[in-house]
Structure 1
């Protein structure tokens, strides 16, 4: 089940909201836990047992670590090994088997197991909990229901953001939903839904059309249209999901940290990754980069740590050499910026800095989107004019004619336009003597977005979520 699904919007969510708000305080977490487990089991019922195993394993080992015995390091190692083993078996087993077969000319059978939805996200959340307990940053959770809700809570269960236990542990026990907070959650959810349904899906149709074509058939314009479409699709798809998750959390009284901050306005790669998938970057910084030594042990080891972390970051996204190359690519770029590249860039005219960043990111997205290196490299050749099938072709004319306004809206709203307008209207409201207010305009705006999203969902069958495969 996905958030941009009519069953979720008109059946699941209204029922859960009603059940939650009419139930007594003592069972609200139980209501949310039941809803979350049902939500997860909707598409893959058998994997509910994997979720329950993860919950009980981390609950038990967290309690053991928290007892502060001489064996707590061993319990932590067991927890990390257990979580990594779950993730490794279901997500990476076939990758390793395939490469062993190629390297040693063996014929080991693939597991061919379907990937449990959101396994990378809930596994990382569980690991952050046991590590924080070991570090004595939080107390071990003694209430199994509360820990189970933290790991399985449906708003951010399958595609993030990665919620750290130490940011919501108090909210698991005590939270309050006010009318203002609930309204804010509804507005945030509608914005995310519109990003996904009205923009990301449209860009996805274009990107899929281009990237499923042979590179021999691509013109220069079509290659750039395809990667621009994917660049905008992945942003509106993932940030839209994060907006919906944050909005849903607020409806139930939870405050999740932000996960995106208009990354495409960045001036360099380092800034880009401080704005893109913020929760993942923070996780790798606190649980991998800093334990490796961070930047505390000299320049050589700092570079080593950066390359390790970014290669792992790429591998986290998918069991493929192209994902690892994508991560290593960013590790190299961030290392270069650290060694003086950022200072050189800062001397350029700001528009040139933006263009540099966008070009670097779009090249990276080619490896992220393509299935293998051969296609990736061939696609990049077409982007830069090598072996192209002309400057433009019928395909590029069709996309420009049918989708030009979608591209215009996507580029516009990938910049902080809405926060700017909100700030402006807020300042106008405070001015005297006019006392101008715009409540009806705001309500009408969100109603129109919701209606437009519903109409699109009813009339379209194309509704993928990119990050569900992670």
Structure 2
């Protein structure tokens, strides 16, 4: 059940909101937990057992860690900590990577190991990382263990951010689990954020995705340079508006239920370097790996060789987190190498270039990265990249490329401007005006977005968010 579905918008969400607000404060977390479990079980009821196990196991583990920390039993504190980490990672690894591991073993062994393909439990990467951050913070004494089972269950299963983030850390919202304010102003902010995200997903991401899907289906030896670039740019815009649209919707839903989640995107396509790009893209994931993997490994306060290893380890894991395929691993290492090149060689030269050149540089390398990311195989990724440079393709320009460029040029331009602060700045000028005009204009803009989105949804086919697969 995706947020941009008619059923969610007109059935599930209104009922959930009504139930949440008609009960007294002491029952709100209980109702929110039930709503989240129903939402999670809607598509794959069998995996509700896995989620409940994660909630119960990590709740009890947190209490154990808190106890051993207070009695200063370091031996059992470490045993409990590592056991909990191994169980969480083992659960994630089994469901997400065992097929990938066996496929690679079968490729090198003389006999095949038979196995049954398992459906990936929805949201497992996100709620496992939320559980890990909780366990690590309790182990370090950064936060106390949550003693209320319902409150902990809400933290781990909260449906707005369960399927595709943002990755919410316990230390950032544990106070909100017991005390949070519900105001009409915050609720209104949530509604506008949700509508904005809905528009990003339905009006921009879903429409531009048609161009990429069609171009990706063209055989590599029939794809011209122009066609390949149109396809790559289309996916670059699709994944931004798809993922940032979901994040806006999730943050907006959180506000409607009284929660404040951190920003997950900050106009990444205006970055002046790849390093800056990753400070602006999927902020919650980048900060998670920084705080729980990169810094514990030593960060950049180590010798150059160790620092290089730290960066490559973090980015290989980042790639693996996104999916169990070699193209994701290569995609992660690609960014790790770019970050190292910028830190040790390119930064001093980039700073001397005009700002627009820096932005073009960062954007182009992001486009190359998305080609690796979007491919269904490594060979497909390299073929597509080769097509972008005229290798093994269909020439520089052909009728197919001209057709897709002409059919999508206006939408690509709209996507480009909407991916920068340009549109928001102009909207803010309207919103900051005094008088009735401000309210009428703002209401008109958001009404137009939701009406157009609903018009598309009525006739649209099922279009899940890209990050649901992770």
CA distance in 2, matches of 1:321, 1:340: 28
Say whether 1:112 aligns with 2:111.
no
Residue in 1 aligned with 2:441?
441
Say whether 1:248 aligns with 2:253.
yes
- Contact 2:224–2:398 at 8 Å: present in 1 too? yes
Aligned with 1:186 (options 165, 186, 191): 191
CA positional deviation for 1:424: 2.6
Residue in 2 aligned with 1:392?
397
CA distance in 2, matches of 1:410, 1:206: 13
Correspondence 1:166-205 to 2 at 5 A = 166-205=171-210
CA distance in 2, matches of 1:251, 1:423: 22
CA positional deviation for 1:183: 0.4
CA distance in 2, matches of 1:317, 1:427: 40
- Contact 1:201–1:464 at 8 Å: present in 2 too? no
Residue in 2 aligned with 1:432?
none
CA distance in 2, matches of 1:324, 1:242: 24
Residue in 2 aligned with 1:91?
96
Residue in 1 aligned with 2:8?
8
Correspondence 1:284-303 to 2 at 5 A = 284-303=289-308
Residue in 1 aligned with 2:453?
453
Correspondence 1:387-426 to 2 at 5 A = 387-425=392-430
SS at match of 1:170: coil
CA positional deviation for 1:250: 0.2
CA positional deviation for 1:417: 2.2
- Contact 1:33–1:152 at 8 Å: present in 2 too? yes
CA distance in 2, matches of 1:130, 1:418: 41
Correspondence 1:116-265 to 2 at 5 A = 116-265=121-270
CA positional deviation for 1:391: 2.8
CA distance in 1, matches of 2:340, 2:225: 31
CA distance in 1, matches of 2:114, 2:337: 35
Residue in 2 aligned with 1:75?
80
Q: Which structure 1 segments of 5+ residues have no match?
A: 430-434
SS at match of 2:301: coil
SS at match of 2:2: coil
CA distance in 1, matches of 2:403, 2:48: 45
CA distance in 2, matches of 1:436, 1:464: 38
Say whether 1:278 aligns with 2:283.
yes
CA distance in 2, matches of 1:229, 1:40: 31
- Contact 1:98–1:110 at 8 Å: present in 2 too? no
Cα shift readout 1:335-377 (whole Å, capped 9, x = no counterpart): 1111131121111122211111111111111111111121111
Residue in 2 aligned with 1:464?
464
SS at match of 1:20: helix
Cα shift readout 1:388-411 (whole Å, capped 9, x = no counterpart): 313333332332333222111101
CA distance in 2, matches of 1:249, 1:115: 25
Cα shift readout 1:61-111 (whole Å, capped 9, x = no counterpart): 000000114211111101110110010000000011111111222311123
Residue in 1 aligned with 2:44?
44
Cα shift readout 1:134-157 (whole Å, capped 9, x = no counterpart): 111111000111111111000000
CA distance in 1, matches of 2:358, 2:454: 39
CA distance in 1, matches of 2:62, 2:94: 22
CA distance in 1, matches of 2:77, 2:6: 47
Q: More displaced, 96-105 or 46-55?
A: 96-105
CA positional deviation for 1:185: 0.2
CA positional deviation for 1:462: 4.7
Residue in 1 aligned with 2:363?
358
Cα shift readout 1:132-183 (whole Å, capped 9, x = no counterpart): 1011111100011111111100000010000010010000111111001000
Correspondence 1:306-345 to 2 at 5 A = 306-345=311-350
- Contact 2:430–2:441 at 8 Å: present in 1 too? no
Q: More displaced, 113-122 or 335-344?
A: 335-344
CA positional deviation for 1:427: 5.0
CA positional deviation for 1:451: 0.4
CA distance in 2, matches of 1:225, 1:235: 16
Cα shift readout 1:304-352 (whole Å, capped 9, x = no counterpart): 1011101110011000111000000100110111113112111112221
SS at match of 1:334: helix
Residue in 1 aligned with 2:17?
17
CA distance in 2, matches of 1:117, 1:208: 23
CA positional deviation for 1:459: 1.4
- Contact 1:310–1:327 at 8 Å: present in 2 too? yes
CA positional deviation for 1:26: 1.1
